[in-house]
């Protein structure tokens, strides 16, 4: 069971499944932002394809597509009702969505049709990242990590032997990537996933760092007595990390409970905590480009912005009706974050940069 999911967002489990119109046109607000609200839909992840089309996924198999030409949203029909927690579109046509019960869906026609792929797991998949139409990773509950190099025709199990939720992943290029999750866990690969190094946190029952998957899965002595990874710069086993973003191989950020952002200047070996003035969990972090302002979002409609590399953060004004759990973001150009969340929230912050 996805522990952090139940603790921070119980609303999703008690609201009835009702449906809004399959198409929606954005409404304006007094501050010029674009906002769409569909009360009984809950969006949990969003991404922008290279052609500017945006895809949002969420509760009960919801997939919505935003057309870049007229800014309208259309609900798609993936043909299943499992909640979807992650989405990735490396090309204009190829995309993947992952979710509950190990669900992986693939589209090869820009979302018009979706085909299930065999994941080999029934665990919740919480995030997915594809670098191109062939190479991708998915991570999730109970230490699950899956890899494909053939566009999802086959998914290979690279899971940890640990009861830890892996909440997000980010790849800078085909060789360098990071995974974050519970217990302050940060994993890093510099060889395309052949080996992962635990560089922060204290994952129970692993006690291993910089091991190949063959070593990790075959050695019965690994992890006896639990993990022993030391804390790094205030990042410890009591911290749950929800999202991670890196501007380059050294500068990165991760969001956590309690409104905190952690930053690193050495690729993740050492992390420093920065207070944002907020107490709610922050679920997403990112920037439109490596030198663009950073944004983070979270509970109670909180949106934060930093122009000094995450050292300090200021609150961003949002439309009056945005008081949802903002779960994820992507960017339209260099200055317009698009945020998604519960209560059908789809918001573009105009001229935010």
Is 353 within a domain? no
Residue 87 within a domain: yes
Say how many residues make up the chain: 353
Mean residue pLDDT across the chain: 83
Task: Give the rounded percent of residues in the chain with a pLDDT score beyond 90.
Answer: 66
Give the C-alpha distances (Å, rounded to integers) separating 191 from 16, 118, 148, 175, 177. Answer: 45, 25, 15, 5, 9
Residue 161 CA to residue 302 CA, distance in Å, equals: 35
**What pLDDT, on the 0 to 100 scale, is given for residue 238?**
87
- According to the model, what pLDDT value does residue 322 have? 74
Q: Is the pLDDT of residue 289 over 70?
A: yes
In a domain, 317, yes or no: yes
Q: What is the pLDDT of residue 33?
A: 61
pLDDT confidence band for 231 (50 / 70 / 90): very low
pLDDT digits (tens, 9 = 90+) for 170-181: 999 999 999 999
| For residues 204-209, average pLDDT | 50
Q: The domain that contains 84 carries what CATH number?
A: 2.130.10.10
Count up the domains in the chain and report the number: 1
Categorize the per-residue pLDDT at 201 as very low, low, confident or very high, splitting at 50, 70 and 90: confident
268 part of a folded domain: yes
Given a cut of 80, whether residue 73 has pLDDT beyond it is: yes
| Any domain includes 17 | no
Residue 16 counted as domain residue? no
Q: What is the pLDDT of residue 34?
A: 64
Residue 80 lies in a domain: yes
Its domain, for residue 324, covers 3-11+23-344
Q: Which residue has the tokens 């049709």?
A: 113
Its pTM stands at 0.84
Give the pLDDT score at 40.
57
Q: Per mean pLDDT, which range of 106-115, 223-232, 235-244 is the poorest?
A: 223-232
Domain contains 130: yes
Average pLDDT value for residue range 336-352: 87
Find the range with the poorest average confidence among 144-148, 221-225, 283-287: 221-225
* 148's tokens: 């494909």
pLDDT single digits (tens) 155-167: 999 999 889 999 9
């Amino acid at each position: 069971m996805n522990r952090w999911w139940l603790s921070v967002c119980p609303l999703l489990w008690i609201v009835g499944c009702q449906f809004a119109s399959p198409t929606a046109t954005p409404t304006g607000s007094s501050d010029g932002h674009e906002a769409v609200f569909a009360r009984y839909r809950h969006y949990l992840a969003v991404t922008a394809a290279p052609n500017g089309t945006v895809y949002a996924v969420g509760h009960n198999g919801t997939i919505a597509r935003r057309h870049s030409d007229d800014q309208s949203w259309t609900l798609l029909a993936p043909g299943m009702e499992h909640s979807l927690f992650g989405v990735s579109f490396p090309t204009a046509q190829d995309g993947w969505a992952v979710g509950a019960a190990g669900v992986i869906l693939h589209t090869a026609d820009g979302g018009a049709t979706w085909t299930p792929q065999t994941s080999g797991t029934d665990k919740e998949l919480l995030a997915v990242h594809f670098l191109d139409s062939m190479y991708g990773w998915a991570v999730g509950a109970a230490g699950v990590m899956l890899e494909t190099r053939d566009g999802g025709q086959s998914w290979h199990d690279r899971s940890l032997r640990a009861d830890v939720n892996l909440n997000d992943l980010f790849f800078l290029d085909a060789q360098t990537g990071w995974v974050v999750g519970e217990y302050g866990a940060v994993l890093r690969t510099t060889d395309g996933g052949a080996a992962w190094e635990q560089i922060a946190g204290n994952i129970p029952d692993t006690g291993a760092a910089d091991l190949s998957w063959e070593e990790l899965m075959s050695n019965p002595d690994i992890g006896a007595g639990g993990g022993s990874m030391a804390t790094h710069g205030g990042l410890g086993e009591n911290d749950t990390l929800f999202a991670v973003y890196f501007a380059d191989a050294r500068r990165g950020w991760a969001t956590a409970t309690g409104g905190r952002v952690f930053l690193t200047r050495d690729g993740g070996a050492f992390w420093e905590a920065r207070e944002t003035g907020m107490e709610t969990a922050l679920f997403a972090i990112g920037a439109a480009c490596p030198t663009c302002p950073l944004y983070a979002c979270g509970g109670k409609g909180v949106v934060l912005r930093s122009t000094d590399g995450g050292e300090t953060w200021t609150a961003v004004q949002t439309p009056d009706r945005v008081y949802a759990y903002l779960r994820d973001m992507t960017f339209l150009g260099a200055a317009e974050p698009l945020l998604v969340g519960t209560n059908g929230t789809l918001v573009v912050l105009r001229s935010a940069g």
